[in-house]
Amino acid sequence: MLPLADPRWQSYMGGYRVLYDASPGLRRLLADGPNEELWEEFWTELHHQSDVHQASYAAVPWLVEFVRRSSKIDWNALALVATIELERNPLWRASHWPVVSGGLLGRTSSWIATRLIGGFRKSSAGISPTPNKGDEVDRAGP
């Protein structure tokens, strides 16, 4: 995972293929939580008409980290990560993805496993499987 203080953020392009430093927004997301203005910025700057670039890929592990830390699942984070991943450029991935991905797979799989195992244990104990406390899903769309 590329540290948010790393100067490379300032040299990465976003969805418009212009420089976009996502690190200040990601810091705000992690410190203060989400808001409509911040999601609008990320959706606009990290993805534009199927275009994604370095800033988009570098932001993915931090968006996953936000979801991992959150008590409430935010559809924006999950949808944006999925959108970026669907638009992945294999040429860029070969040379840059290892630098920015860090422990993405491990973080994601452990978070999902915790949620699934928790639901399974409740189910096998005869209790209806429901989300863990604080895992309410915001089903509202944009």
Tell whether 140 is covered by a domain: no
When divided into structural domains, the chain yields a total of 1
Any domain includes 134: no
Domain that holds residue 36: 7-124
Q: Is residue 56 part of a domain?
A: yes
| Residue at 129 is within a domain | no
pLDDT of residue 109: 57
Q: Does 141 map to a domain?
A: no
d(CA 104, CA 93): 14
In a domain, 142, yes or no: no
Q: At what angle do helices 75-86 and 54-69 cross, to 10 degrees?
A: 150
pLDDT along the chain (142 residues), means of 10: 96 92 98 95 89 92 94 89 79 63 58 54 41 42 40
3-class secondary-structure state, position 127: coil
The pLDDT of residue 98: 66
Question: Is residue 2 included in any domain, yes or no?
Answer: no
Query: Quick one: pLDDT at residue 25?
Result: 98
- In this structure, how many other beta carbons lie within 10 angstroms of the beta carbon of residue 91? 7
- pTM for this structure? 0.63
How many Å apart are CA 78 and CA 33, to the nearest integer? Answer: 15
Say if 1 falls within a structural domain: no
H-type alpha helices, the chain? 23-32, 36-46, 54-69, 75-86, 90-101, 104-124
